[in-house]
């Protein structure tokens, strides 16, 4: 099933993606909590992610990079704000320099992910809030909507694997 909707709301400075998976909430939670699974889908297929660090707990940090088709690296970081396993978590996301550290700790977006299970289907809703319309537009121009949709489309395959789904 994967992505069922995406919506950019300039007035509220948000970008919302909703996806559904034929898997339990605990299984879907694992694609976030387990760094080896997360890096299989966090970037779009042509920009796979590698997580150098993932402290999936309140106050934890993450450092990652995505590698492009020409070998170029786009680095990012997270600060985990809240974790309520296996239903909700919240993190700040920003760009990082070559050392993996934040370029500008104030230039972040806030992402809230919620998981709801109903009859063996888990709905994942990701709401990213931007600090300004300019920031939202910049991310849109970088291909945020297409990249997020392509990235999330990879989750179904991960969930179908025996080691994850059982």
Nearest to 3 by CA among 157, 153, 160, 154: 153
165 located within any domain: no
Instruction: Give the helix/strand (H/E) hosting 151.
Output: helix 144-152
pLDDT digits 0-9 by tens, 106-151: 999 999 999 999 999 999 999 999 999 999 999 999 999 999 999 9
- pTM equals 0.93
* pLDDT of 163 over the 90 cut: no
CATH number at residue 101: 3.30.530.20
52 located within any domain: yes
164 located within any domain: no
Coil, strand or helix at 166: coil
Q: b/e map of 113-151 (b: 16 or more CB within 10 Å)?
A: bebebeeeebbbbbbbbbeeeeebeebeeeebeebbbbb
Name the DSSP class of 96.
Answer: B
Angstrom distances, CA of residue 22 to CA of 5, 43, 86: 16, 21, 16
Q: b/e map of 57-77 (b: 16 or more CB within 10 Å)?
A: eeeebbbbbbeeeeeeeebbb
- How many Cα neighbours within 13 Å face the side chain of 92? 16
162 located within any domain: no
Residue with tokens 């949709």: 149
Please state the domain count of the chain. Answer: 1
78 located within any domain: yes
pLDDT digits 0-9 by tens, 33-80: 999 999 999 999 999 999 999 999 999 999 999 999 999 999 999 999
21 located within any domain: yes
Q: How many residues does the chain have?
A: 166
84 located within any domain: yes
Domain that holds residue 44: 2-157
163 located within any domain: no
């Amino acid at each position: 099933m994967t992505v069922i909707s995406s919506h950019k709301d300039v007035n509220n400075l948000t970008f919302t993606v909703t996806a559904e998976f034929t898997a339990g909430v605990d299984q879907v939670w694992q694609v976030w909590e387990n760094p080896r699974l997360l890096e299989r889908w966090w970037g779009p297929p042509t920009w796979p992610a590698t997580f150098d660090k993932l402290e999936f707990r309140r106050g934890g940090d993450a450092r990652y990079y995505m590698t492009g088709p020409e070998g170029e690296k786009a680095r990012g970081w997270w600060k985990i704000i809240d974790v309520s396993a296996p239903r909700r978590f919240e993190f700040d996301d920003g760009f990082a320099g070559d050392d993996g550290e934040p370029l500008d700790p104030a230039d972040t977006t806030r992402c809230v992910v919620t998981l709801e299970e109903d009859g063996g289907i888990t709905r994942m809703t990701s709401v990213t809030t931007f600090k300004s319309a300019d920031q939202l537009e910049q991310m849109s121009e970088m291909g945020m909507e297409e990249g997020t949709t392509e990235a999330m489309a990879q989750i179904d395959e991960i969930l179908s694997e025996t080691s994850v789904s059982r």
